[in-house]
Amino acid sequence: MKTKLFFLITLSIGLITTGCKEKEQQIEIESVKIDLLNDEFPEAKQEVKMTLDSILQSVRDGDLDRLISFHQYSPKFTEFKNGEVRNGGEENEKFERGIFGSVTEIIKFDLNDTKIAVYGDVANVTTHTDFHLKFGEDLAIVNEQMTLLFLKTDNGWRIVHEHHSPISKTD
């Protein structure tokens, strides 16, 4: 009888202890989620800003291989642009090489109202483009909303999703 009682007490203490540890782990996980939402991650934010600046510079320099290197092409890569259906990395690379490879002069290549939000190893960049690009004698002005989703990789921050859409002009 004493053995059964001892066994039941030991089992009960074990279950209570395990339950408490699971509760502690759950609380730790929830606090990590809160930190991902509220922490500004200033070092990572600066890294993303430097990556964004390098992307812009690669376009200004006409260095298409460097521009493409800032993308993390995989089956998960997606892009939305011009109201068309989603496309993937192969289409994105072809488009970017075709467009930026055809630019004969960059008059203006600015990003405005840029916001960088870092969530650990993921960063969301939203901005408004103000690009004035010449293709021979033709001038193209690109004013759009752009979202770039970055993932921190062993090779630095890389784009895993792009979204481009027109800006509604309201006065």
* Proportion of the chain above pLDDT 90, given as a percent: 74
105 and 145 together in one domain: yes
φ, ψ of residue 41 to 5 degrees: the values are 50, 60
Q: What CA–CA distances, in Å, run from 132 to 8, 103, 105? A: 77, 10, 9
Instruction: State yes or no: pLDDT of 16 exceeds 70.
Output: no
Confidence of residue 160 (pLDDT cuts 50, 70, 90): very high
Residue-wise pLDDT tens digits, 17-76: 555 555 445 556 666 665 888 899 999 999 999 999 999 999 999 999 999 999 999 999
Q: State the average pLDDT over residues 13-18.
A: 58
Residue 73 within a domain: yes
22 and 76 together in one domain: no
Contacts with 7 (C-beta within 8 Å, 6 or more apart), sequence order:
none
Cβ proximity of 168 and 80 under 8 Å: no
Question: 99-132: b or e for each residue (b if 16 or more CB lie within 10 Å)?
Answer: ebeebeebeebebeeeebebeeeebebbbebebe
Residue 171 within a domain: no
118 and 134 together in one domain: yes
12 and 81 together in one domain: no
Total domains in the chain come to 2
Residue 109 within a domain: yes
57 and 123 together in one domain: yes
65 and 22 together in one domain: no
Residue-wise pLDDT tens digits, 141-155: 999 999 999 999 999
pTM of the model: 0.79
Domain with 19 in it: 1-38
Cβ proximity of 137 and 58 under 8 Å: no
Domain at 77, CATH number: 3.10.450.50
18 and 84 together in one domain: no
Instruction: State yes or no: pLDDT of 109 exceeds 90.
Output: yes
Residue 12 within a domain: yes
34 and 72 together in one domain: no
Residue keyed to tokens 């074990």: 14
33 and 48 together in one domain: no
Residue 67 within a domain: yes
30 and 83 together in one domain: no
68 and 145 together in one domain: yes
55 and 105 together in one domain: yes
